[in-house]
Structure 1
Amino acid sequence: MTRYAAFLRGVNVGGVNLKMADVAKVFAEAGFDDVKTVLASGNVLLDSASGATSVRRTAEAALREAFGYDAWVLVYGLDELREIVQRYPFERDVPEHHSYVTFVSDDDLLQELAALATEAGDTAAQGDGVLYWQVARAATLDSAIGKTMGKKRYKSSTTTRNLRTLDKVLR
């Protein structure tokens, strides 16, 4: 049995409003064990004997069936997630800034996002399957990465979390 973090894309922002208690129930009914949600932004902890790819497919199918929306989920074992967070290459707590990790399951899109961030002069660095970035608090949606993440081609394979949120998931 492996403990996973499942990150739902676009939940409780942009019109997809789900109660986390309902999400937890759907995940439990889909066969996952020890399901727990963290915050109201689509972070689910669960146990499964299946691999991450299978967990992702099952979770997406269950959410689509239960809530009728185009659900996208990225799944990571907690040990892998811990390593990703520990590798954050910038100072974590910069006043008036947000520190983010964008999880990317498509290598071509990761390369694209990293190049875009570099061209725009954003504070960003590519990691293994992730893009680390930092931006002034008022500028997240106006940053090159922030503007790009809303595009349809990124929805199925990316999701972003603030480092503070990831710290709460890992507790």
Structure 2
Amino acid sequence: MTRWIALLRGVNVNGITIRSADLAATFRTLGYADVRTVLASGNVVFTAPGDASVVKADVEQALRDRFGYDAWVVLLRHDDLAGIVEGFPFPSGPDRHDYVLFASEGAALDDLLADLALDDTVERVARGAGVVYWSCPKGSSTDTTFAKRAGAVRFKRTTTTRNTNTLRKLL
């Protein structure tokens, strides 16, 4: 049995509303154990047997069947998350938001960072193992250069972003 974290893309935004209780129940119907949702932004911690690709496919299909939307999930092992959070490379501060962008396909991260010109006095971006770390000023998480690139339609099915505070709650 493996402890997993499913990060759902696009939940409780753009008209896709899923209550946490319904989300947890969906994971339980798959036979998964120790199911816990965190916040209302599509974060699920659970235990399940099997290969990551099988678990991911099962979760995405269950979400499509139950909630009728084009579900895309980034799945990672719970044990890997602590290292990701600890690896955040930028200093935190009360005037900044710290994020980690996850991808279900490594090539998406390469595309995301390709030819990206940033003003590092405003925002900082660094590649990590299977993630991109991002720090930006509070209040600007939708209008910086990187925010606009990450929000592009071409990354919708392969990436999702979480604040480091949220990630700590998943541990």
Pick the TM interval, shorter chain: over 0.9
**Is this contact kept in 1: 2:5–2:75, CA < 8 A?**
yes
Question: Counterpart of 2:102?
Answer: 103
How far is 1:30 from its partner?
Answer: 1.6
CA distance in 1, matches of 2:106, 2:169: 27
Partner amino acid, structure 2, of 1:101: V
The share of aligned pairs that are identical, in percent, is 44
How does the TM-score come out when normalised to structure 2?
A: 0.93
Instruction: Tell me the CA shift for residue 115 of structure 1.
Output: 3.2
Counterparts of 2:52 and 2:39, CA distance in 1: 22
Following TM superposition, by how much is the alpha carbon of 1:166 offset from its aligned partner in structure 2, in angstroms? 0.2
In structure 2, the partner of 1:112 is 111
- SS state at 2:117 partner: helix
TM-score w.r.t. the length of structure 1 is 0.93
How do 1:52-91 residues align onto structure 2 when only pairs under 5 Å count? 52-91=52-91
Range moving further from structure 2, 31-40 or 106-115: 106-115
| 1:51 paired residue number | 51
**Which digits, 9 at most, give the CA deviation of each residue in 1:126-170, with x for residues without a partner?**
011100000111111001222123322211110000000000011
Aligned residue number for residue 145 of structure 1 = 146
* C-alpha RMSD over aligned residues: 1.3
Q: Indicate the structure with greater helix content.
A: 1
- Structure 1 unaligned segments of length 5 or more: list them: none
Correspondence list, 1:14-29, <5 A = 14-29=14-29
Q: List per-residue Cα deviations over 1:44-77 (Å, max 9, x = no partner).
A: 0110111222111111000000000011111111
Tell me which stretches of 4 or more aligned residues in structure 1 moved more than 3 Å.
none
Does the 8 Å CA contact 2:85/2:167 hold for their aligned counterparts? Answer: yes
